[in-house]
Chain A
Amino acid sequence: MASSHGTPPVFNNKVVAWIDHRLPIFSYIEKEYHTFPTPRNFNYFWNFGAIATVMLVLMIATGIVLATNYTPHVLMAFDSVERIDRDVPQGWLIRDLHMNGASFFFIAVYIHIFRGMYYGSYKAPRELLWILGVVIFLLMMATAFMGYVLPWGQMSFWGATVITNLFSAIPVVGESIVTWLWGGFAVDNPTLNRFFALHYLLPFVIVAVVALHVVALHIHGSNNPTGIDPKGPQDTVPFHPYYTMKDGFGVMVFLIIYAAFVFFAPDYMGHPDNYIPADPLVTPAHIVPEWYFLPFYAILRAIPDKLGGVLAMFGAIAVLFILPWLDTSRVRSATFRPIYKWFMMVLVVDVIVLGFCGANPPEGFWVPLSQLATLYYFFHFLILLPVLGKIERPLPLPPSIADAVLKKKAV
């Protein structure tokens, strides 16, 4: 576990001491969540790890309750969701929490990823920590996609059809893979059944990878807004109470915004077509995925070739895996990288533009725009980052975190 700091804690409670002597869970909590030395200069962007964890737990808790009331059958799924909404006591609340929870989990994770990119949290020695994060992101996408299929509305059915059909682009074995995924020759009951099984399974896989993510985090500790390593006790504070309380406040603010959607606009982020029961004979005018997939959906459609589109879409996530090696700058934080800072913001705008491209039908100016935005996305990672690290002249780094904090206060 973490660096050997301090002496082992002494527990006054005999039961606690007895257990801890045999299974040191209390020592672990003490060391990793109480005395754990954490940089003193976090801004509120550092709340989003805790917020994402809260959302994960909330999704699993509400999901289990929903699963006890849901029927994974093509003839009954739609009505069973409506039954949860109408007849299960407080069922509407659980469902609204779950369906909006997915969106807010992604909001938290997207901000968390932005934080990692802006402050260079993926750089040595945190490459594996970052890669585990990308694995979590991929698992989340798979889980969310399969979850969206479960209500068996029009977008559920046609989204499932479009996305599973992507695999048919693979040469030679593509068609066989699609049949294997479907469990038949069309998206049908076997597909719904396995999606439900996997939708229940994957969150627990996410929990396991989150555990690894946290273990990796606690080896070298958190990055911080300056991107420089703590040099001594003056640069850090114990995790508890300093960051437990700050995270607690951040979580509350996030939950207020989440609750505003759950209680006052529960269907705002959904698509009205998903309240139409799935009909394999009627294709919706525009098949769109949930908002959090729109940038990737735009990349998929930007390439006029099916296989090319699929490769580009998966490539957009694959580049994140090698990001620690694409960025050649030795300076972590964008605060001290005058050029990178602006290109990072351009990337954010680019991804938002891709989101709009994904939401609109691929007609007119949306086509060249999504192609341009896709090109820029890959340009940022594959060309800009390697080159920028070589030519950019970073600003002078502060001698220490404490120094940076106190200087900022003086100004």
Chain B
Amino acid sequence: MRKLLATGAIALAALATGAVAIAAGTTEQPPQKKWHFQGPFGTFDRAAAQRGYQVYQEVCAACHSLQLLAYRNLMELGLTENQVKDLIKDITVPDLNDDGQPIDRPARPSDRFKKPFPNQAAAAAANNGKAPPDLSVIVKARADGPNYLHGLLTGYVPYDKLTPEQIKEFAVTKDDNFNKYFPGHKIAMAAPLADDKVTYADGTKATTDQEASDVVEFLAWASEPHMEDRKRTGVRVILFLLALAGFMYAVKRMVWSDKH
């Protein structure tokens, strides 16, 4: 019977794995990077995430919203309230005044991240008919999210570097953006990052790869700001349950001792 139990457990694990077996098509798999937040004890690299915020704010925010986050959330990345206020001092957000008239006022920490476009239709109109996706949960919304996004941001191939076969197979023209890891390869977004696209205050060299890693660290945090709390709680819960299970087993053995 033990054997059966083990078989059953393996079978169920296999079944669960099957559920996440997503056909990725023929697109190349992005390289597997080591992330600071990965694993059961992984935490967010605060410095990288703060640099990532800078990349988001100076590059991505021109087109992509981050509407589930408020500026106050940045304090969870180790910034003080004054630092947050300083970061947003030049940002104005739409609101209504006491007379009900639309105005722009300075952003407050309690405001949600300002959207680049007033609405979806405007976003689509400014981007060839398709609104750029919101990035709030983008890391969770893609299979192998962190590696995929890092691959996407660094996986652009210029037209003159493409092989004739690639140009033919995917019908690439000079105006198309070719990305190694994007399903179908032709992506509307032009390569957003380049070396020294931003200037980091902490002196980190802003290579394309560094910028991509940093913004993924930031977006991973944005997708799940409570991740560290979740893992910490999990360690405590599992230790507690292990102790209780051991205790229950001892009691069970004691109770059954006269029946064996």
Bound state CA distance, A348 and B4, in angstroms? 11
Give A250-262 as 1s and 0s: 1 = Cβ < 8 Å from B's Cβ atoms: 0011011001101
A345 at the binding interface (Cβ < 8 Å): yes
Give A103-130 as 1s and 0s: 1 = Cβ < 8 Å from B's Cβ atoms: 1000100110010001000000000000
Q: Flag if B12 contacts A110 (CB, 8 Å).
A: yes
Q: Flag if A263 contacts B141 (CB, 8 Å).
A: no
Of A133-141, A211-219, A269-277, the segment with at least 4 beta carbons within 8 Å of chain B is A269-277
* Min distance, Cβ B15 to any Cβ of chain A, angstroms: 5
Question: Which residue of B23, B238, B249 is within 8 Å of A260 (Cβ)?
Answer: B238
Question: Which residue of B1, B19, B237 is within 8 Å of A225 (Cβ)?
Answer: B1
Q: Flag if B68 contacts A86 (CB, 8 Å).
A: yes
Q: Flag if B241 contacts A286 (CB, 8 Å).
A: no
Please give the number of chain B residues whose Cβ is less than 8 angstroms from any Cβ of chain A in the complex. Answer: 54
B166 at the binding interface (Cβ < 8 Å): no
* Min distance, Cβ A382 to any Cβ of chain B, angstroms: 23
- A40 nearest CB neighbor, chain B only: B259
A310 at the binding interface (Cβ < 8 Å): no
A283 at the binding interface (Cβ < 8 Å): no
Question: Which residue of B7, B68, B237 is within 8 Å of A259 (Cβ)?
Answer: B237
Of A17-25, A55-63, A180-188, A287-295, the segment with at least 4 beta carbons within 8 Å of chain B is A287-295
Q: Which of B87-140 contact A (CB under 8 A)?
A: 133-134, 136-137, 140
Q: Flag if A352 contacts B11 (CB, 8 Å).
A: yes
CB-defined contacts of A361 to chain B, threshold 8 Å: 23
Question: Which residue of B20, B242, B252 is within 8 Å of A268 (Cβ)?
Answer: B20
Instruction: With A45-B1, A82-B68, A252-B244 as known contacts, state yes or no: A263 contacts B19, CB within 8 Å.
Output: no
A-B pairs under 8 A by CB, number: 140
Instruction: With A263-B238, A272-B143, A291-B15 as known contacts, state yes or no: A111 contacts B68, CB within 8 Å.
Output: no
Question: Which residue of B14, B141, B230 is within 8 Å of A273 (Cβ)?
Answer: B141
B78 at the binding interface (Cβ < 8 Å): no
Q: Flag if A92 contacts B230 (CB, 8 Å).
A: yes
Question: Which residue of B14, B133, B137 is within 8 Å of A82 (Cβ)?
Answer: B137
Most chain-A Cβ atoms within 10 A of its Cβ — which of B21, B22, B134, B251? B22
Question: Which residue of A86, A277, A359 is within 8 Å of B18 (Cβ)?
Answer: A359
Instruction: With A86-B226, A268-B16, A288-B19 as known contacts, state yes or no: A242 contacts B256, CB within 8 Å.
Output: yes
Instruction: With A249-B245, A249-B248, A345-B7 as known contacts, state yes or no: A290 contacts B19, CB within 8 Å.
Output: yes
* Min distance, Cβ B21 to any Cβ of chain A, angstroms: 5
* Min distance, Cβ B98 to any Cβ of chain A, angstroms: 27
A379 at the binding interface (Cβ < 8 Å): no
Give B1-44 as 1s and 0s: 1 = Cβ < 8 Å from A's Cβ atoms: 10011011001101110111111010000000000000010000
B168 at the binding interface (Cβ < 8 Å): no
B231 at the binding interface (Cβ < 8 Å): yes
Bound state CA distance, A246 and B257, in angstroms? 12
Q: Which of A235-251 contact B (CB under 8 A)?
A: 237, 241-242, 245-246, 248-249
* Min distance, Cβ A87 to any Cβ of chain B, angstroms: 9
Bound state CA distance, A358 and B223, in angstroms? 29
B260 at the binding interface (Cβ < 8 Å): yes
Q: Flag if B230 contacts A246 (CB, 8 Å).
A: no
B225 at the binding interface (Cβ < 8 Å): yes
Chain A interface size range: 35 or more
Question: Which residue of A43, A241, A272, A348 is within 8 Å of B145 (Cβ)?
Answer: A272
Most chain-B Cβ atoms within 10 A of its Cβ — which of A85, A241, A252, A285? A252
Bound state CA distance, A165 and B212, in angstroms? 42
CB-defined contacts of B259 to chain A, threshold 8 Å: 40, 237, 242
- A265 nearest CB neighbor, chain B only: B40
CB-defined contacts of A252 to chain B, threshold 8 Å: 241, 244-245, 248
Q: Flag if B241 contacts A255 (CB, 8 Å).
A: yes
- A290 nearest CB neighbor, chain B only: B19
A79 at the binding interface (Cβ < 8 Å): yes
Instruction: With A252-B241, A252-B244, A272-B143 as known contacts, state yes or no: A360 contacts B23, CB within 8 Å.
Output: yes
CB-defined contacts of B256 to chain A, threshold 8 Å: 242, 245-246
Instruction: With A43-B1, A255-B241 as known contacts, state yes or no: A246 contacts B11, CB within 8 Å.
Output: no
Q: Flag if A286 contacts B22 (CB, 8 Å).
A: yes
Question: Which residue of A92, A118, A245, A348 is within 8 Å of B248 (Cβ)?
Answer: A245
- B12 nearest CB neighbor, chain A only: A107
Q: Flag if A269 contacts B19 (CB, 8 Å).
A: yes
CB-defined contacts of B231 to chain A, threshold 8 Å: 263-264
Give A361-402 as 1s and 0s: 1 = Cβ < 8 Å from B's Cβ atoms: 100000000000000000000000000000000000000000
B205 at the binding interface (Cβ < 8 Å): no
- A273 nearest CB neighbor, chain B only: B141
CB-defined contacts of B248 to chain A, threshold 8 Å: 245, 248-249, 252
* Min distance, Cβ B121 to any Cβ of chain A, angstroms: 13
CB-defined contacts of B16 to chain A, threshold 8 Å: 103, 268-269, 291
* Min distance, Cβ A47 to any Cβ of chain B, angstroms: 11
A356 at the binding interface (Cβ < 8 Å): yes
Instruction: With A96-B230, A256-B241, A256-B245 as known contacts, state yes or no: A45 contacts B5, CB within 8 Å.
Output: yes
7 shortest A-B CB distances, which residue pairs? A263-B234, A291-B19, A275-B141, A252-B245, A249-B248, A245-B252, A359-B18
Q: Other CB < 8 Å A-B pairs besides A266-B230, A359-B20, 12 of them?
A: A82-B137, A103-B16, A111-B8, A237-B259, A242-B259, A246-B252, A248-B251, A256-B245, A263-B230, A268-B16, A275-B137, A348-B8
> B-side interface residues toward A, CB under 8 Å?
1, 4-5, 7-8, 11-12, 14-16, 18-23, 25, 40, 68, 73, 133-134, 136-137, 140-143, 145, 183, 223-226, 229-231, 233-235, 237-238, 241-242, 244-245, 248-249, 251-252, 255-256, 259-260
> A-side interface residues toward B, CB under 8 Å?
40, 43-45, 79, 82, 85-86, 92-93, 96, 103, 107, 110-111, 114, 118, 225, 237, 241-242, 245-246, 248-249, 252-253, 255-256, 259-260, 262-264, 266-269, 271-273, 275-277, 285-286, 288, 290-291, 294, 345, 348-349, 352, 355-356, 358-361, 409
- Please, could you name 8 A-B residue pairs with CB atoms under 8 Å apart, sorted by A? A85-B226, A225-B1, A242-B255, A256-B241, A269-B19, A271-B20, A275-B137, A356-B18
